[in-house]
Amino acid sequence: MNATESITCPAEGDKILAHYRGYYESVFIIFHPFIKPKIGFEFDHENDYLDKKSIVENFDKVTWLEMVQECGFEDLNRLDIALRNWIGGLVAKYQNQVEVDKLENVCKQFKIIEPGEGRFSDCLIDEMISSIKNLGYNKIIFGDEWGKKKEALLIADIEFKKEDFDSSIDFIPNNMYTEDKKLLYSVHWDSHFTLLCSDLETLKSIVDKYQFEGFYANNETEIYWSVKD
């Protein structure tokens, strides 16, 4: 068993629970929210830079379920596929420009910003850090996507520098986990969601407290869970 599997994201084609077997009992897939500006806040989507502080203070979250309804998609799978196609993340067999156009048009009409892929969501990072702190930890380990680099940060220092918590890390943190590796947040480089991994009781308490939108992985769930042959 590869030790890095406990602190990295499964690859394309891998079953999520099988990847973490022996390390984590359960996995919850957290959707990265869409966001829209609060009433009275103006911004230029093309030119204005939005840091985490501005996003948290001046934007409201928009759920995937709301976007499914606004776009007229059949289900969440179609939204995930549209997001993947928007960034050119699927092969020709699964491309659907009509659904990408629907998603783009809804975003333009309501000034909604689509979630980012491959990085932790600025909308969720505070809750993620808080969930680890509330379990009694005072330090978080941040790791790169391959499990080769890591950096330990005190939660107190992260909370002090809320605008740029990862400014002292010399790599893009795709994984964050506790020192004992009992809890892991992992983001896939081409996906618009984060995996929360731990025992089922811990997952349920975190999901309920922070109202994360998403679903629990089953034995068949893969990273590209929306794409079905």
Q: Going by DSSP bridges, is the β-strand pair 59-62/139-143 parallel, antiparallel, or unpaired? A: unpaired
Asked whether the beta carbons of 132 and 140 are under 8 A apart, the reply is yes
Going 57 to 59 to 63 to 64, the CA torsion angle's sign is negative
CA distance 203 to 196: 7
**What integer pLDDT is reported at residue 51 of this predicted model?**
84
* pLDDT > 80? residue 61: yes
Q: How many CB atoms lie within 10 A of CB 82?
A: 25
**What integer pLDDT is reported at residue 44 of this predicted model?**
77
55-64, 87-96, 99-108, 164-173: lowest mean pLDDT where?
A: 164-173
Helix 64-71 and helix 76-86: axis angle, to 10°? Answer: 90
pLDDT category, 167, cuts 50, 70, 90? low
**What integer pLDDT is reported at residue 43 of this predicted model?**
82
CA distance 141 to 67: 33
All structural domains of the chain with their residue ranges: 3-31+119-216, 34-110
- C-alpha separations of 118 from 84, 143, 210 in Å: 11, 13, 21
**What integer pLDDT is reported at residue 166 of this predicted model?**
65
Q: How many CB atoms lie within 10 A of CB 99?
A: 20
What are the tens digits of pLDDT across the range 82-96? 999 999 999 888 899
Return the structure tokens found at 101. 């156009």
What are the tens digits of pLDDT across the range 106-151? 999 999 999 999 999 999 999 999 999 999 999 999 999 999 999 9
pLDDT category, 157, cuts 50, 70, 90? confident
Asked whether the beta carbons of 148 and 159 are under 8 A apart, the reply is no
